[in-house]
């Protein structure tokens, strides 16, 4: 496994996702084939609009040591 510095992880996760939420699955299913792989910034912008994209913060993860107290809960799959 590989570890990265906390500052780099924070920088990667603290940004804004330009399409953090969208009209799924309706808009995605009805997206024209020509916009599935947008080949220009104009086409990409049209795809975002058709999907009903709304920007949202990416969020972050909290990394804890496996030996940390988990309150007797399983940490597998969480």
Residue 18: φ, ψ to 5°:
-65, -20
Q: Over the stretch 17-71, which tens digit does the pLDDT of each residue have?
A: 999 999 999 998 999 999 999 999 999 999 999 999 999 988 766 677 766 555 6
Is residue 36 assigned to a domain? yes
Is 12 contained in some domain?
no
- Taking the whole predicted model, whether its pTM rises above 0.75 is answered as no
d(CA 12, CA 59): 10
Domain hosting 68: range is: 17-78
Q: For residue range 3-30, what is the model confidence (pLDDT) as tens digits?
A: 888 888 888 888 899 999 999 999 989 9
Asked whether residue 61 is domain-assigned, the answer is yes
- 55, with CB counted inside 10 A (0-12, 13-18, 19+), is exposed
């Amino acid at each position: 496994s590989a570890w990265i510095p906390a500052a780099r992880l924070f920088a990667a996760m603290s940004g804004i996702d330009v399409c953090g939420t969208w009209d799924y699955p309706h808009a995605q299913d009805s997206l024209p084939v020509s916009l599935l792989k947008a080949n220009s910034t104009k086409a990409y912008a049209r795809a975002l609009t058709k999907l009903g994209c709304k920007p949202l913060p990416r969020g972050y993860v909290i990394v804890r040591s496996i030996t940390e107290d988990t309150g007797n809960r399983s940490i597998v799959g969480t």
